[in-house]
Amino acid sequence: MMDNSGKREIIKEKLEKIAEKLSKSGIEVYNARDQPSYLYDETPPTLGVKAAENVLIVKPKSTHEISQILKLAGEQKIPVFPRGGGTGLSGGAVPTSDGIVLSTEKLKWIEIDVENFCAVCGAGITLRELISEAEKNGLSFPPHPGDESATVGGMIATNAGGVRAMKYGVMRNYVLGLEAVLASGDVIRLGGKLIKNNAGYNLMHLLIGSEGTLAVVSEAIIRLLPPFKRTATVAIPFESIEGAIEAVVEILKDGIIPLALEYVERKALEIGEKVSGKRWPPKDEANLMVIVDGRDEDEVVSMAERIEEICLKKGAKNAYIAMGAKEQRDLLEVRSLIYEGMKDLVVEVLDVSVPPAKIPEYIKRCNSEAEKMGFQIVNYGHAGDGNIHQHPLKVEDWESKYPKLKKTFFRIAKELGGSITGEHGVGIVKKSDLKEQVSEVEYELMRRVKQAFDPEGILNPGKIVD
């Protein structure tokens, strides 16, 4: 029987042959030793997701070139790890075995179809570029999943969410059509410039959120909307999380659907203030940040004042309404830079999703369990849609204690009708947890879907399902 070193030597030889053929075809090929940043994404190093060393980095410029790469890889049974902007937090883009990292960064084309309210773009177009091109043409791309260096292909692969998901939905709600390459090298085109399409099984929606395990997205048709007119941001402090979440429920019952409805703890805001150099208005133990948008100033002022009125009835001490662009930008910067300020202190960034009304119970139960195990947790997240970001901070001997804490949090989420991940995805860091989240029947169906799309298991192996 061949040992591991023998197998690795064979893979190395296969990769050298593939590199030679791709280079002759004009496709950019690099050795990972020369571009090591392509081996990792933003997953905290504490999670121990280790990249393989014997890796090629390929940068195709077209769907045809992706097809060539996958055909060669399929013939040699070499793993291919699709990569977008590398902003993921679940190890989804990390090459965990010897093989090929397929970067979509060179797939750079975009055309705005103003009449059909959509963009046709390559998978390498960044969020920043998509927003900019839409605005130049008098349109907007409402979702804002986070880091603007994230790419369209990556956001589709992870079904990215973000602070605006509550009103404007997640990436899935904006994908009208896809061009993708299967593991066999075959190209499929799904959907189109259509709002309605009910022809057979929706394969397009299977690919959205599949984290590069079923196909490589090369091009997408993205839905766009009319531009934002005016916005206002309201910052409201509460003494208790119960009061804050009760206010969230009342705001929604009142018929106001905010652009963003964020919950942030005091300690999280203090970290954001330190990094940004900006000051948050009066804060308390539990804080809401509510962003509303409307046709004109009168409409957003009316909504902001109504939100203030509701919150004061639910125990808020006061509210700060920001109308100017700078004041709103300062608040958003404090909220956006919280993770940056604790990056080196956290074990993991959890993104559990629970029914919004269950947020207080979920956080209190988790904090109680964390205290018993000697952990401190910093909590904030999207109160309007129930997606909470929890940051367990490193403590002495956290390596041996943390797995139990994580399992406890996921168990509590499941008991409350929640999910182990609201937007970051399964990747490799939650792969074993997925089996406990879903039933055996669901897991087996997922495994069969993977097998149908990728019978040799070469696309992003080791992620999501076996």
Average pLDDT over residues 90-101: 97
Residue 264 near residue 248, CB atoms below 8 Å: no
Domain 345-430 falls in which CATH fold?
Alpha-Beta Plaits (3.30.70)
Give the mean pLDDT of the chain.
95
Task: Average the pLDDT over 208-212 and give the result.
Answer: 98
pLDDT at 111 over 90: yes
Residue with tokens 């998901």: 165
On whether the CB atoms of residues 175 and 193 are closer than 8 A, the answer is: no
pLDDT at site 381 = 92
pLDDT tens digits, 319-342:
999 999 999 999 999 999 999 999
Whether the Cβ atoms of residue 183 and residue 449 lie closer than 8 Å to each other: no
pLDDT over threshold 60, residue 462? yes
The pLDDT of residue 2 is 62
Q: Say what the pTM is.
A: 0.94
**Domain 230-340 identical in fold to domain 345-430:** yes
C-alpha distances out from residue 168 to 17, 141, 220, 225, Å: 47, 9, 19, 10
Taking the domain 230-340, which CATH number applies? 3.30.70.2190
Q: What's the fold here for domain 110-223?
A: 3.30.465
Mind listing the pLDDT tens digit for each residue in 76-88? 999 999 999 999 9
Write down the domain spans for the chain.
Answer: 4-106, 110-223, 230-340, 345-430
Q: What is the pLDDT of residue 1?
A: 57
Q: What is the mean pLDDT of residues 416-444?
A: 96
Which of the listed CATH numbers 3.30.43.10, 3.40.1080.20, 3.10.300.10, 3.40.50.10490 matches domain 4-106?
3.30.43.10
Whether the CB-CB separation of 38 and 86 falls below 8 Å is answered with yes
Give the model confidence (pLDDT) of 265-324 as tens digits.
Answer: 999 999 999 999 999 998 999 999 999 999 999 999 999 999 999 999 999 989 999 999
Q: Do 384 and 252 meet the contact criterion of CB atoms below 8 Å apart?
A: yes
